[in-house]
A and B are shown apart, each in its own frame.
Chain A
């Protein structure tokens, strides 16, 4: 019989116990290496992201432009209905809702796919050695490609309603970068926790829709009587503002920048701590 209930650390028999994994200093370095090596493998994750996306539209005539088309349909239908319901002039409301939807889509996909970022790649993770972060880099890149397809809907709306945001629009680029930094840690953290606790993806899934309505996307904060706390402390609102405001020709509020930078720092600190501690376990968990 080989089943023992001895108190840990259970020695393997030889008497000298090898150092336990996950508690050594080198875990810190390994986590750093994983992220750095992962970033260096851009050819690999670039390829994965493209192929993955293309495979979803294989044998379809217009291919990835279905993304653009379905975003356009969503924006037109909902934009027309809600501008009427809310009594907002279309020229203002249509670009607002278009940018809101497009940016929200990026964040939502990162949260949902982030939960599955390691689980979905279990075959690869269990077969081939390599940095785990490549899967997260690939996911972010894939979402940027999707964003690149969707943003044309905004361009179309801007042309139809003759909107010219001016040079302020360039602020959307650093804005998008800040969004990516934040969704990266979110996906990494969610992916890690989800590979251990399989309820997390369901949990996130059930909060996505309420969050969508709670976040100013189809409505705007100035429609509220006074400021609402659930807007001010909603990180998703500030993330969307990073991209939406500049493209509407407004500089995002300083408060939004402070908030986004703060969650980037705190989020990364927490995520990195988790990653140092549990990175090596992911291959076992998936």
Chain B
């Protein structure tokens, strides 16, 4: 059974820049982003997550909402095991497939096929297992001969197709997504949505950080509202969205 339990998890980023002080004064007035403190050595620390306690159980489809810099991506990375929290504990059971934005952890010099294998190896599969999955993954991406080309020749949408196909074909028990699959075209989005829905039904846990209410409504049943690294509200998706929209309206 897949589950993620976070107990009083905090994650803080030390800022080492010599201009940290001036950055601090600039950020002082901001309501966006994590909490900024000074630690014992008088350097500046951004608390991206502040005492977050969450229990995500098998079958939960959780949306993360919050402003830019509220800690959504950091929370996903903590859940994935990429970041170890500065304090608190994370317990996770189930195979994780992270699907974060940026370069998706691929080497642009490698071909599509090579990146499929590499990503699989990183996610705990053997080369042979991945080779068996290649036809299915290749078909889903619809990239055809492009899979023989280095991925730096790909567009963002094509990269997304590849990463999405790998992450979903390995039948993950925990799927962590940042901002959905924004770069896909309409046809692919539809296909991807369908696939996600199937996956969510069969697999354990989905955590999706997104600003798109439509996407959240389609994929999630529960939600967590993060603000400056703290959980402001959690519960059913409707409740949380209502609360979130109220907060936005107030500002």
Contact = CB atoms under 8 A, between A and B. Distances in A.
A19 interface: yes
B156 interface: no
Interface in B176-223: none
Contacts of A1: 28
Contacts of A6: 37
B13 A284 contact: yes
A126 interface: yes
Given A18-B8, A47-B117, A124-B105, A13 B37 contact: no
A130 B230 CA distance: 27
Contacts of B105: 123-124, 126-128
Contacts of A12: 8, 10, 50-51, 230
B51 to A, nearest CB: 3
Interface string B3-23: 000011111011010000000
A55 interface: yes
B104 interface: yes
Nearest to A44: B121
A22 B122 contact: no
Contact of A283 (B7, B9, B82): B82
Q: Place the interface of chain B in its size category.
A: 35 or more
Given A3-B35, A18-B87, A8 B10 contact: no
Question: Which size class do A's interface residues fall under?
Answer: 35 or more
B82 A127 contact: yes
Interface in B64-114: 77, 80-89, 96, 98, 100, 102-107, 109-110, 114
A16 interface: yes
Contacts of B104: 123, 127
Given A19-B87, A51-B107, A124-B105, A2 B35 contact: yes
Contact of A129 (B82, B85, B88): B82
Q: Top 6 nearest A-B pairs by Cβ distance? A: A12-B51, A127-B105, A129-B81, A18-B8, A55-B109, A280-B84
Interface of A: 1-8, 10, 12-14, 16-22, 41, 43-44, 47-48, 51-52, 55, 58, 123-130, 196, 280, 283-284
